[in-house]
Amino acid sequence: MLEGQLRRNTRQKRVILRSVEQLGCHPTAVQIYNTVRKVLPRTSLSTVYRNLGILVDQGKIRAVKGAGSEIHYDHNTGAHNHIECTVCGRVCDVHMDPVDIDTMNPETVSNFIVMEVRMNILGICPECAEQLEKEKLQ
């Protein structure tokens, strides 16, 4: 690979990682793409997808699958759960202790060996709740 190309790739990856951090509340690839394009206008969506995949593999970010088909990206790679808005699809963090696998009773989990706990909490975010409230008053 040419040195210039390599430098450009490194820069793209850095800007993509920074965008995930700046956008905070678990952005999708398209949201990250729109932010990256403000800094590096020639970046393609496929480049963003590819780099997000690399960053996930490197453990720098985490991919969070919502109820829909879209994947959200999280700069917080520590163990925590998520809540998803059923109206706008936004994903936010749940601030409570993760379920402790070691204290689980085997019968509760049909004698499975538990590898990972993924909780799916769905709700309505404050912005959507406010919007729904306004619509009700009209």
**Which residues of the shown chain bind Zn ion in the complex (CB under 5 A)?**
74, 76, 85, 87-88, 90, 93, 125, 128
H and E: helices and strands count for the chain? 4, 5
Given the complex with Zn ion, which of 39 and 89 has the nearer CB atom? 89
Given the complex with Zn ion, which of 39 and 124 has the nearer CB atom? 124
* Coil vs helix vs strand at 129: helix
Closest Cα to residue 96, out of 83, 77, 84, 114? Answer: 83
Given the complex with Zn ion, which of 13 and 75 has the nearer CB atom? 75
Given the complex with Zn ion, which of 8 and 18 has the nearer CB atom? 18
In the sheet that holds 81-85, the strands lie side by side as 91-94, 81-85, 120-123
DSSP H or E stretch at residue 56: helix 45-57
The DSSP code for 98 is: P
Burial grade of 84 (CB within 10 A; 0-12, 13-18, 19 or more): buried
Given the complex with Zn ion, which of 46 and 77 has the nearer CB atom? 77
